[in-house]
Structure 1
Amino acid sequence: MDFALILLLILIGTGALWGLDRWLWAPGRERRAQALAEAGKTGDAALARKEPIYVEYARAFFPVILIVFFIRSFLAEPFRIPSESMLPTLYVGDFILVNKFSYGVRLPVANVKVLDSGLPKRGEVVVFRFPGDPSINYIKRVVGIPGDHILYKDKKLYINGTPMEQGDGRPYFFSPESNAHGQETLRVTENLDGIRHDILTTNRQDVPLPEIVVPVGQYFVMGDNRDHSNDSRYWGFVPDRNLVGKAFLIWFSWDVAGHDKWFWERIVWNRLGNSIH
């Protein structure tokens, strides 16, 4: 189940319990307690006034869940990076925050936009619901906006006929598997419409991709780890309705390979608080 749906159901449940007790059950308990008090049974009257334990929990948790639900639905939502497709920008084990109102305010669970607040720009890192399975969230970089002519050839990205500037490649090593079979990995700085960021390329042959035009209301996305990313080159465009938000901050980072380390040693301290470009 969708975590947002789970939160909503808990919110409705705790709110309903609290409301029923306040307007229906509590007055009944008070009437019984007054009758017992008038009969001289003060101890029983005190017990009659006591609210059930499940009502106590509902009253305590409802405001907390309401705040969490509001923040997560309309302000910022946390996500964990599960793959290497956005290296070297994002590592496996990074925990990020996503701005939920960058691309419009949407109703929780239904994901229906009710207020426009902006559109994705080239170079921004976005989280979206995968078009092939909306229950899965993906994170990629926007390289093409509606109307753009996109061409990816010989490890270079061309937008509207203009090649995006790339700096000299530097050797990069990030895992034995990815560097196997003679795949030399290079770290290259790319300037994508004014946003400078690093990408990874190998000597693996590019996927044949003819020049395409991004349709209205859709976006072309790619991973920074260009030869190890499942992105728009393989499955197509991201519709606006699938956008979740703009990734902007690494709030925690965990060394997934440090199984023999202590807890505090596995925290990658120098990544905490880094902004995402």
Structure 2
Amino acid sequence: MNLKRTLRDNRGFLLFLFSFALLRTAVADWNPIPSGSMRPTLLEGDVVLVNRLAYGLKLPLTDVVLMPLGEPQRGDVVTLSSPAGGTRLIKRIVGLPGDRVAMHDDQLILNGRPLAYTGAQTRGETLAPGWVVDAVRATEELDGHAHVVQFLPTVNARRDMAEITVPAGQYFLLGDNRDNSEDSRFIGTVPREKLIGRAHHVLVAADWLGEDGWRMAPRFDRWLTAIR
């Protein structure tokens, strides 16, 4: 009887919690960025807004697509459930179903055409407190979608990949930090149902890992900025 009374007295609050959970699992979500695999587009400490309805309506808490709503596009930054273990990742779509994708010396080759990289600049990149390496940043042109990517020439990384054809219903994803990203070069192509949603804005951001270790300093200049 006490339980029934508690539920009755708090039904408004419980309904709010249920609605909030449904919103996050089916409509919109926000995700903190825990690693540097999408640098410089996304930084550790960024919190991104994710449109879970960008590609389809799913049964909450599952990968079951109830209704497709849109088509993933090259250049989209997406959250996904890794097909190699289920870890939640955030990457960029570079290959659509039927595309031929290869890499040579970090240059992406799409359908036999090497992509163009312009405006290359070298800067120091902190990988861990006290560990700074050279990083090269350049603008990559992906089907008219320009975005900045980063390469780490002195880091041991997978820079070459034989051409593959992306299977039907699957996508090839890369991190913008090309030499420090666990992406389709390692986990394979990603089935559409594993795409959670499209990340479109940085909601808030904080610098939480500086050269001196742990710290928390807001990056106000990144708040409410669109993801390119």
Q: TM-score, normalised by structure 1?
A: 0.74
**More RCO (CA 8 Å, sep 6+):** 2
Tell me the SS of whatever aligns to 1:188. Answer: strand
1:123 paired residue number: 75
Q: In structure 2, do the counterparts of structure 1 residues 179 and 190 end up closer, same or farther at CA, with 3 Å as the change threshold?
A: farther
Residue type at the aligned position of 1:154: D
Q: Does 1:72 align with 2:11?
A: no
Which blocks of at least 5 consecutive residues in structure 2 are unaligned? Answer: none
Q: In structure 2, do the counterparts of structure 1 residues 113 and 176 end up closer, same or farther at CA, with 3 Å as the change threshold?
A: closer
Higher strand share: 2
Moved more, 216-225 or 156-165: 156-165
Q: In structure 2, do the counterparts of structure 1 residues 272 and 243 end up closer, same or farther at CA, with 3 Å as the change threshold?
A: same
Q: Work out whether residues 143 and 221 of structure 1, in 8 Å CA contact, stay in contact via their aligned partners in 2.
A: yes
Deviation at 1:80, TM superposition (A): 0.7
1:170 paired residue number: 121
Which blocks of at least 5 consecutive residues in structure 1 are unaligned? Answer: 1-16, 22-51
Deviation at 1:193, TM superposition (A): 1.1
Deviation at 1:165, TM superposition (A): 1.7
Moved over 6 A (4+): 258-261
Alpha-carbon distance in 1 for matches of 2:101, 2:214: 45
Alpha-carbon distance in 1 for matches of 2:182, 2:214: 31
Residue type at the aligned position of 1:174: E
Alpha-carbon distance in 2 for matches of 1:157, 1:255: 30
Alpha-carbon distance in 1 for matches of 2:75, 2:129: 25
Deviations for 1:213-269, whole angstroms, at most 9, x for unmatched residues?
A: 0000111100000001111111211111111000001111121136786x7xx1110
Deviation at 1:93, TM superposition (A): 0.6
Deviation at 1:206, TM superposition (A): 4.0
Residues 1-277 of structure 1 aligned to structure 2 (within 5 Å): 52-57=5-10, 59-134=11-86, 136-175=87-126, 177=128, 183-204=133-154, 206-257=158-209, 266-277=217-228
Tell me the SS of whatever aligns to 2:207. Answer: coil
Number of aligned residue pairs: 223
Q: Work out whether residues 206 and 219 of structure 2, in 8 Å CA contact, stay in contact via their aligned partners in 1.
A: yes
Deviations for 1:128-176, whole angstroms, at most 9, x for unmatched residues?
A: 0011112x21000001010000011122111101121210310122305
Alpha-carbon distance in 1 for matches of 2:65, 2:118: 39
Residue type at the aligned position of 2:150: L
Q: What root-mean-square deviation, in Å, do the aligned CA atoms of Structure 1 and Structure 2 show?
A: 2.4
- CA radius of gyration, larger in: 1
Q: Work out whether residues 102 and 160 of structure 2, in 8 Å CA contact, stay in contact via their aligned partners in 1.
A: no
Higher helix share: 1
Deviation at 1:53, TM superposition (A): 4.1
